[in-house]
Structure 1
Amino acid sequence: MEKTPDILCIGSVLWDVIGRTPRSMAVGHDVPGRISRLPGGVAMNIAMALVREGMRPALLTVLGQDAEGRELEQAARRMGMVTEHVTWSDTLPTDQYMAIEAENGLVAAIADAHSLEQAGDAILQPLADGRLGSIDAPHAGIVALDGNLTEELLSRIADSPLFSMADLRIAPASPGKAGRLLPLLRHPRATLYVNRIEAGLICDNRFSSAKAAAEALVAFGARRVLVTDGGAPMAEATPEGVLTATPPPVVVTRVTGAGDTFMAAHISAEARGLSGIFAIEAALGITAAYVSET
């Protein structure tokens, strides 16, 4: 058996195929750049950022019994992640994500997470069979959960006794899937990490600032939320009040994984004993370094 993990990362683990160019792009443009393939997916991005902060995450996901899946599991293990709880499928291919990033930001992206959606609650079996928890002794540690799971499964997780004691940290997979997180707002130990646009989609509203979005989510029933807004001030809100902080100014060279990096850095900061504005500022500094890395 491998060492006990510090945190569980549940959701999408796949291959990212990212095309990047230093030029500005619009629809139909054909420009020179670089194309790379690297481990990705929301759960994997969070796990990789946690490893960089010295934590040991365990992955709960599905991988295909194909060359891509085996290679991905080996890469995760080499990085120091616990992979013994991965669900393997003989019939489902390993998921993948494709994006184009330019000087003017994310141009387009397609997430193929169909295998994760079809696997459903099979990936949660270690939380029920005694390996990581059970109905009688639910897992009581930190759980990072991503919105690539189906809305039905996320709703069941919100009320499941298997998650009743978990310190649940939740990330949307993308703005288009942010609405899936609505049932999780009622979880009594949930912290939601979203950007301003995602907050608006959850609340069916438009917000001019992260502070306004965070306050609206709390009014909507959230226990704690952290709302980012690119280089503009971000906000953390609970029913007790709101904290705001401004990210360090940097030249942004990549955007894929930025929100996942912030979430992981904030979790790590709190695991080290930081809280409030100190945890937020530590996470913003780490995220600034990530998005400005060349």
Structure 2
Amino acid sequence: MKKISIIGGITADIEGTPYNRLIHGDSNPGKITLSYGGVGRNITENLARMGANVGFVSVAGDDFPGRGALRELKELGVNVEHVKLLPEENTAVYMSILNIVGDMELALCNMDVLERISNTFIDEVAEDIGDSAIIGIDTNLTAETLADTADKLSGIPLFLDPVSVTKAERAKNIIGRFHTIKPNRMEAEVLSGIRITSEEELEKAGQWFLSEGVERVFISLGAGGVYFTDRTDSGILRPKPVKVVSATGAGDAFSAAVLYGFVQGLSVKETALYGMAAAAVTLESKTSVNSMMSQEKLKAYLSE
């Protein structure tokens, strides 16, 4: 199978849920969970579970969560030779404390290590990943490194997941260098400078991206589905009802499906349908990647 490479972030996600009302300034009994996240890492895990030939490029601390995240991906068959564990750094961590009704009360994050995905690091791996059919990139890279990476890998189709509204700004000036992009509505507004409040404005933004040089555009609309376009087809797909356990990671699963659809030669609409199926499978799971993700699960969803 054609090779897919992903360049992006690894995080350790720590979440605390109290058994009773939170008392500030005190130790609160509750449940604490640790899981692995990061947009790039989540896309990579989803691809591995879909059966793709995938390699991951990233950095993490040489610590308990970093080694654990690396081991988990390796066991799934991911090529992790270009994941660096740095002894002098801590793995990126997002730590949140919820209140008794499940809303976030407080959060703390440390993403400093991801800035070590530098121009020099990309230089070191560029030749090895140069035979990829497509390379997915998330905006955990700095704006400078994103631009440098797009230059170095310009002969290969590049896919962009903007990660967040704030981080989407990093790719704004180089958006035309990406073959395929998958922003949500707010990220698309930042990248295009077009306010999107209607289907007409959605189409206008899609056409703007194509005019900049992007070949395929998928704009996720949350519960409203997804808008897709290329130079031959466009439309909006609405989701069918699904029991939502958690929305976390659904966008990452969609991105993984877009990359998989590319190497399988699917049309833009077929790819969007595949992405919707992957997102729906993830919505059924409490974790950011559904451990039940598989080709069989996706085909069953699509057949319905």
Larger CA deviation: 87-96 vs 258-267: 87-96
Determine the structure 2 residue equivalent to 1:9.
Answer: 6
Deviations 1:149-201 (A, max 9, x none): 0111112223x1x31121211101212211112133121x5211011111112
Larger CA deviation: 41-50 vs 205-214: 205-214
Amino acid at match of 1:74: R
Please say if residues 7 and 142 of structure 1, whose CA atoms lie closer than 8 Å, have aligned partners that are also in contact.
Answer: yes
Which of 219, 226, 230 is matched with 2:218 structurally?
226
Aligned-pair identity (%)? 28
Where 2:80 maps in the other structure, the secondary structure is coil
Question: Does 1:197 find its partner at 2:204?
Answer: no
Determine the structure 1 residue equivalent to 2:42.
Answer: 45
Question: Does 1:123 find its partner at 2:121?
Answer: yes
Question: Does 1:269 find its partner at 2:261?
Answer: yes
Which of 154, 159, 164 is matched with 2:154 structurally?
164
Q: Which runs of 4+ in 1 moved over 4 A?
A: 31-34, 99-111
Please say if residues 196 and 209 of structure 1, whose CA atoms lie closer than 8 Å, have aligned partners that are also in contact.
Answer: no
Which of 109, 112, 116 is matched with 2:110 structurally?
112
Determine the structure 2 residue equivalent to 1:136.
Answer: none
Q: CA deviation at 1:92?
A: 1.9
Q: Distance in 1 between matches of 2:114 and 2:72?
A: 19
Amino acid at match of 2:188: A
Q: CA deviation at 1:108?
A: 7.2
Q: CA deviation at 1:206?
A: 2.7
Deviations 1:236-270 (A, max 9, x none): 12354522211222232212211111110222233
Q: Superposed, which structure 2 residues align to 1:1-294 within 5 Å?
A: 6-19=3-16, 34-99=31-96, 111-128=109-126, 130-133=127-130, 139-158=131-150, 160=151, 162-187=152-177, 189-209=178-198, 212-213=201-202, 215-220=204-209, 221-223=212-214, 224-294=216-286
Amino acid at match of 2:90: P
Q: CA deviation at 1:213?
A: 3.3
Q: 1:69–1:52: structure 2 CA closer, same or farther, 3 Å change rule?
A: same
Please say if residues 194 and 228 of structure 1, whose CA atoms lie closer than 8 Å, have aligned partners that are also in contact.
Answer: yes
Please say if residues 194 and 201 of structure 2, whose CA atoms lie closer than 8 Å, have aligned partners that are also in contact.
Answer: no
Q: Distance in 2 between matches of 1:177 and 1:110?
A: 17
Q: Please, what is the CA RMSD of the aligned residues?
A: 3.2
Where 2:81 maps in the other structure, the secondary structure is coil
Q: Distance in 1 between matches of 2:105 and 2:176?
A: 34
Deviations 1:50-69 (A, max 9, x none): 11211132111112222332
Where 2:195 maps in the other structure, the secondary structure is coil
Q: Distance in 1 between matches of 2:138 and 2:64?
A: 25
Amino acid at match of 1:245: L
Q: 1:112–1:51: structure 2 CA closer, same or farther, 3 Å change rule?
A: same
Q: 1:264–1:34: structure 2 CA closer, same or farther, 3 Å change rule?
A: farther
Amino acid at match of 1:191: T
Larger CA deviation: 202-211 vs 87-96: 202-211
**TM-score normalised per structure 1:** 0.81
**TM-score normalised per structure 2:** 0.79
Amino acid at match of 1:91: E
Where 1:231 maps in the other structure, the secondary structure is helix
Please say if residues 262 and 283 of structure 1, whose CA atoms lie closer than 8 Å, have aligned partners that are also in contact.
Answer: yes
Please say if residues 195 and 201 of structure 2, whose CA atoms lie closer than 8 Å, have aligned partners that are also in contact.
Answer: no
Q: CA deviation at 1:229?
A: 0.7
Q: CA deviation at 1:290?
A: 0.9
Determine the structure 1 residue equivalent to 2:298.
Answer: none
Amino acid at match of 1:186: G
